[in-house]
Amino acid sequence: VQLVESGGGLVQAGGSLKLSCAVSAPAYSTYAIGWFRQAPGKARDFVAAINWRGSSTTYTDSVKGRFTISRDNAKNTVYLQMNSLKPEDAAVYYCAARIGMVVTTTVHDYAFWGQGTQVTVSS
């Protein structure tokens, strides 16, 4: 499984960005996708996750109501729409894949990772 993130950049506080995660996986495989972020000097933290069908999503409390995760399996792409961005949202954002149907929030549950995309929020 290979993942490639895109869509990061510099945005003012209160602005929006939409991240994309393009997934290459064996045919007929099913996988959950999580978004995580890591700020300098800090641990990699969970942001949001979505199951294979897109019927189940979960978010960390700090982004609820501002971020939306979605997926288009026909395009093998998962999105993270980020609105009302705050300086504390600045980080490298990673998407990760977990084979199977279950959505989890733990870094170690995800076996496959992208290279990350930088999000910078100016105050």
Enter the tokens of residue 81: 């729409």
Q: How much is the mean pLDDT over the chain? A: 96
Cα 95 to Cα 13, 14, 76, 122: the distances in Å are 23, 23, 13, 23
Taking the CA atoms of residue 8, residue 9, residue 14 and residue 20 in that order, the dihedral angle to the nearest 10 degrees is: -20
Relative to beta strand 91-99, strand 117-122 is: antiparallel
Integer Cα distance of 26 and 118 in angstroms: 28
pLDDT tens digit sequence for 49-90: 999 999 999 999 999 999 999 999 999 999 999 999 999 999
